[in-house]
């Protein structure tokens, strides 16, 4: 039985459309009337489905395709079933959150996702043992699956507080950021870098992998969590470790980027369009890494986490500017998403939406620092969300089969 990776990536694109539609509805509700939808419920539905229905589904589909192609004894049917279970939990939690909010039904679907994640982790670890030559991407994929499970401790504690109604603001934020950090900077990031390491030799024959990059990213990921909760009182020794972790991540990223740049100068099979697309992601990563480093300054950290627009801008920078953009560009580059003029236009529209989203959120954040209200800022954000929706819809339509494909 074959594993149809293109089919599952098409499902991911449909799910991306749902994520963006939820974002559009939330931004519409801020400025206009939409009484039959609860904003808090929409927020839970939007965030959880973005993680499970879009990002996790896309990563599982790409990872399954990688393993099945590299491990002859792997079972495509088992991966297919695991992906279907993940989709069931994603759609189930989506409907539960929208209709009922954070209740027992939604938690049940989240629990199903956690059990399935455990199974997928076991499956991935088992099959990765059979990859010949100890490919460097293996360590990244194993770490990604580990961080995926590790982040679940945050959601389990959040669920515990909600069920028992033992709410504590500081514990709630700590648990929330624990989950977000080890999803964004752990599971998502390590999966994306693993996919990059796997495919780079095909496009950059002279690229030389350095295992020290993995060691630095992995070791710094744990203390980097505390960058999200610097409002807590830490002893000096822990604060020093946190600062070192931020510096190490900057160094690791610069080292990785330089090695790719050197290989690009020698021989590159990337098209000019592909280079430009990946520069977009690399720029977003650089901004994110520098923002992390800047957050080690207590005054900056207090200002940043004290204003909601800044937090939202940072989260969208990672989720949209880095992870989502990378998954789309990567799939386009290796041919899982059909290449062609229509696809390229769709990608361009979506990336323009990502850029404008960050620009408007940045303006809103700076205005918050200055306590200066900006008129029609919510209207602007709503307009940007419509651009993102257009880009996502165009991506879906671009994948419809046609007789002639004009290569981009």
- Among 157, 93, 146, smallest CA distance to 120 is for 146
pLDDT of residue 10: 94
Tell me the C-alpha distance between 142 and 144, whole Å: 5
3 state SS of 377: helix
Q: Half-sphere exposure of residue 29, counting CA atoms within 13 Å on the CB side?
A: 16
- Residue 335 belongs to some domain of the structure: yes
pLDDT tens, residue by residue, 285-338: 999 999 889 888 876 676 666 667 778 888 899 999 999 999 999 999 999 988
pLDDT of residue 23: 93
Going from the first residue of the chain to its last (408 residues), give the mean pLDDT of each consecutive group of 10, the final group possibly shorter: 88 96 91 79 92 96 93 91 96 93 87 94 92 85 96 86 77 89 95 94 91 96 90 86 95 95 91 94 94 81 68 90 96 90 94 94 80 82 95 92 47
pLDDT of residue 287: 93
Tell me the C-alpha distance between 400 and 381, whole Å: 30
Domain extent, residue 346, equals 306-401
pLDDT of residue 405: 38
**Cα dihedral 213/217/220/222 (nearest 10):** -150
Q: Which residue has the tokens 């991911």?
A: 12
- Residue 377 belongs to some domain of the structure: yes
pLDDT of residue 407: 40
- Residue 232 belongs to some domain of the structure: no
- Residue 116 belongs to some domain of the structure: no
Query: Could you tell me the two tokens for 379?
Result: 């209207």
pLDDT of residue 192: 96
- Residue 22 belongs to some domain of the structure: no
- Residue 192 belongs to some domain of the structure: no
Tell me the C-alpha distance between 323 and 284, whole Å: 10
Measured over the CA atoms of residue 290, residue 295, residue 299 and residue 301, the dihedral's sign is positive
pLDDT of residue 232: 78
Q: 392 near 20, Cβ under 8 Å?
A: yes
Would the pTM of this model clear 0.85, i.e. be above it?
A: yes
- Residue 290 belongs to some domain of the structure: no
pLDDT of residue 307: 66
- Give how many domains the chain has, as a whole number: 1
Q: Which residue has the tokens 């800044």?
A: 310
pLDDT of residue 103: 82
Query: Could you tell me the two tokens for 111?
Result: 């629990």
Q: 65 near 5, Cβ under 8 Å?
A: yes
- Residue 189 belongs to some domain of the structure: no
Q: 90 near 49, Cβ under 8 Å?
A: yes
CA 214 from centroid of its chain's CA atoms: 19
pLDDT of residue 376: 83
Q: 182 near 152, Cβ under 8 Å?
A: no
């Amino acid at each position: 039985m074959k594993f149809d990776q293109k089919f599952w990536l098409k499902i991911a694109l449909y799910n991306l459309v749902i994520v963006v539609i939820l974002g559009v509805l939330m931004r519409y509700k801020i400025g206009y009337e939409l009484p039959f939808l609860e904003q808090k419920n929409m927020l839970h539905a939007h965030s959880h489905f973005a993680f499970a229905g879009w990002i996790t589904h896309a990563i599982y589909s790409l990872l399954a395709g990688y393993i099945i192609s590299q491990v002859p004894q792997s079972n495509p049917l088992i991966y297919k079933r695991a992906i279907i279970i993940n989709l069931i939990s994603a759609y189930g939690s989506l409907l539960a959150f929208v209709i009922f909010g954070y209740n027992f039904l939604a938690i049940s679907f989240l629990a199903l996702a956690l059990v399935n994640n455990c199974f997928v982790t076991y499956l991935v670890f088992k099959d990765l043992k059979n990859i010949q030559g100890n490919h460097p991407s293996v360590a990244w994929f194993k770490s990604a699956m580990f961080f995926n499970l590790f982040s679940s401790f945050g959601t389990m504690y959040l669920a515990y507080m909600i069920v028992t109604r033992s709410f504590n603001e500081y514990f709630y934020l700590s648990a929330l950021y624990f989950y977000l950090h080890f999803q964004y900077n752990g599971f998502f990031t390590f999966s994306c870098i693993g996919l990059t390491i796997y495919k780079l030799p095909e496009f950059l024959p002279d690229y030389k992998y350095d295992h020290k990059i993995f060691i630095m990213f992995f070791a710094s990921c744990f203390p980097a969590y505390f960058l999200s909760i610097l409002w807590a009182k830490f002893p000096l020794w822990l604060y020093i470790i946190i600062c070192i972790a931020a510096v190490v991540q900057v160094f690791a990223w610069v080292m990785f980027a330089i090695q790719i740049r050197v290989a690009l100068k020698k021989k590159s099979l990337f098209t000019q369009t592909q280079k430009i697309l990946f520069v977009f992601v690399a720029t977003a990563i650089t901004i994110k890494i520098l923002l992390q480093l800047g957050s080690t300054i207590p005054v900056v950290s207090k200002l940043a986490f004290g204003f909601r627009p800044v937090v939202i801008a940072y989260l969208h920078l990672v989720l949209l500017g880095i992870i989502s953009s990378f998954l789309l560009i990567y799939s386009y580059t290796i041919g899982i998403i059909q290449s062609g003029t229509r696809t390229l236009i769709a990608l361009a529209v979506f990336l323009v939406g990502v850029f404008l989203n960050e620009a408007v959120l940045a303006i809103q954040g700076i205005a918050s620092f200055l306590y200066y209200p900006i008129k029609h800022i919510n209207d602007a954000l709503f307009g940007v969300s419509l651009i993102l929706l257009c880009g996502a819809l165009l991506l879906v339509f671009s994948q419809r089969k046609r007789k002639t494909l004009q290569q981009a």
